Structure formats: structure tokens, C-alpha cells
Amino acid sequence: MQQTILVTGATGTVGREVVKLLAMLDDVRVRAGVHSLIKGENLRRLPDVEIVEMEFTDPDSLHAAFTHADKVFLITPFTDGQVEMAKKLVDEAKRTGVKHIVKLSAMGANAEPGIQLGRWHREIEDYIKDSGIAYTFLRPSSFMQNIENYNAHSIKQEGKLYMPAGDGKVPYIDARDIAMAAVETLTGEGHEGKAYDLTGPEAITANQIAETLSAVTGKPVTFVDVPEEAARQAMQQQQIPDWMTNALLELSGVQRAGHAGQPNNEVEKLTGCKPRTFEEYAQDYKECFV
């Protein structure tokens, strides 16, 4: 029998990859929860994808999206209202009888005391546990796609990768591998009550990222290590809110200090495929950087 899986945040970095993979499965009916119908247009081209408009702060839109959904892949955006939004989604999942929530969390969500980003995810994880709904938590490390989302402009314009990263190593993961793990945990057996730390195959420095992008694009890319205070000032000039500046600098401080975690083989154990290297990612997305 077909099951209906709702993906929230379906136009985002991970959500759209999950929708694409689920759309290929015969026994799944995918419901893509999109914030903006215009951004959701691309998903319409996929076979058998139902598009529903969702505004996380609007209870009516949540009710329509969750009704008759068997499972949910729960993505909430990186905002200061993330915890409250997620709680509303979990409440609606409970009301509508959802049987399994797979939540996109973050590596370090279980660390004590951890950092603010992780604590927000932990609060959501705890709320899901308390709801009584079967759950699985995916806790990825930083996404390779952050480089195209946040750094592509300066790489293209100046050949510079600005990061407050020092020589800290991070086991970056490709969002497409998170999506593969998500599909397995949504459709496979035995993932209820489990949490998986997901990483890429190697921990790399920002300098290695720049070197790989140079080699792949054929254009020199230089890493510029930005001191924390200079990064804070730049973010203030860009009118990034204080809560976001503080959370991001706390994360980069952990990464700079070399505490961003070690690569593991959870992606391969879950999916049977080796996680993509940064070089593979760069080859596939090189048009974003030239």
C-alpha cells in the first residue's frame, strides 16, 4: 500500500533532495511542504509529487499539510523561532496521527552543554520524544552546500574564500547524502528510536576547500582566515541579526579549535553507498563557483 510522506522545508538544501529521491519510489506518495509556491515550481516537474503550501506559523496550513500523512521528514529553517515552529509541527503531527517523524537535527545536538545551535535542536528532539510519536534523528555535520550558499559570491568575484575557520578540520557532508540517509530511515525497517551522526568521508580545512575549488574550476581560489572580531563586524555591517551572528561564531569557534567531530561511516551503513568527497561535490557544482 502507498504511504504518504510529508517533507517540510521541501525547497531547501536538504528537502529538495529528499523529495527528488522519494519521488522515484513506487510505494511512496510524496507531499512537498513549500513555503513559497513559486520556489516549489521545480518540484512540480517530478512524478507524483503533491505540493502543499505551508507557513509554519499558520495552524490552518499545517493542518492541511499533515492530514493523511503517514510519516514526516521534519525540516525547520535556521531562525531564532525554529524551536517554536518545530513544536507546532510536532503538535499537528500528533493531532493528525502521524506514525513516524524523521527530524533533520544537527551534529552535537546531544552534547552537554554543547553550543546554542545544538541546544535548539536538542529541545526539539526532546519535544518529539515526549510526543510519543516514533522518531529518528539525523544529526549531520556542516553541509558542503554551505560553500555555494554563503561563499559563492566572493569566490566568483574575487577568487577568495573568507571564513573564520583557521586550520580547523570539519567532516563536511554533501546534502545529497543526508537525503539518501533520510530516505532509508523513512522507508526502511528498524530506525525508530535511533539517532545517527552523519558526516562526509574526510575532515578538511578551509584551505583544502579553496585548493579543491581551484583545481576543479581551473581558477585560483585563496582561503582568507577572518579573525572572529572582523567576522562579527562584517556580519553587523550586513545587518545579520545578533542571535545569528552569535550562533554562527560560536560554531566556527568550535570548528577552528578542531572540535567539529571526526568522519564516520554512518552514511555508508545506512545507504550502502560511500559518502561523497568534497572533490565530487565541487565537480558536480562547479558552475556555482565560476
Ligand X SMILES: NC(=O)c1ccc[n+]([C@@H]2O[C@H](COP(=O)([O-])OP(=O)(O)OC[C@H]3O[C@@H](n4cnc5c(N)ncnc54)[C@H](OP(=O)(O)O)[C@@H]3O)[C@@H](O)[C@H]2O)c1
Q: Which is nearer to ligand X, 140 or 166 (CB)?
A: 140
Contact yes or no for 191/185 (Cβ under 8 A): yes
Q: Which is nearer to ligand X, 102 or 104 (CB)?
A: 104
CB of 40 to ligand X, least distance (A): 8
CB of 252 to ligand X, least distance (A): 11
CB of 281 to ligand X, least distance (A): 13
Q: Which is nearer to ligand X, 107 or 226 (CB)?
A: 107
Question: How many CB atoms sit inside 10 A of residue 266's CB?
Answer: 19
Q: Which is nearer to ligand X, 110 or 159 (CB)?
A: 110
CB of 255 to ligand X, least distance (A): 11
CB of 119 to ligand X, least distance (A): 11
On the 0-12 / 13-18 / 19+ scale of CB atoms within 10 A, 126 is: exposed
Q: What is the DSSP string of 232-281?
A: HHHHHHTT--HHHHHHHHHHHHHHHTT-S----SHHHHHHSSPPPPHHHH
Question: How many CB atoms sit inside 10 A of residue 236's CB?
Answer: 12
CB of 178 to ligand X, least distance (A): 8
Calpha distance 111→234 (Å, rounded)? 29
Grid coordinates in use for 279?
572533490
**Nearest residue by C-beta to ligand X?**
12
Spell out a b/e string for 29-62, using b for 16 or more CB atoms within 10 Å of the CB, else e.
bbbbbbbeeeebeebeebeebebbebebeeeebb
Please tell me whether residue 52 adopts helix, strand or coil conformation. Answer: strand
CB of 154 to ligand X, least distance (A): 18
**Residues at the contact surface with ligand X, assessed by CB under 6 A:** 9-15, 35-36, 39, 54-57, 75-78, 104, 106, 140, 142-143, 146
Q: How far is CA 15 from CA 32, 72, 160, 204, in A?
A: 8, 11, 29, 25
Calpha distance 68→196 (Å, rounded)? 27
Q: Which is nearer to ligand X, 14 or 213 (CB)?
A: 14
CB of 54 to ligand X, least distance (A): 5
Calpha distance 114→160 (Å, rounded)? 31
Calpha distance 180→187 (Å, rounded)? 11
Q: Which is nearer to ligand X, 215 or 244 (CB)?
A: 244
Q: Is 109 left (phi over 0), alpha (psi -120 to 50) or beta?
A: alpha
Q: Which is nearer to ligand X, 76 or 185 (CB)?
A: 76
Q: Which is nearer to ligand X, 95 or 219 (CB)?
A: 95
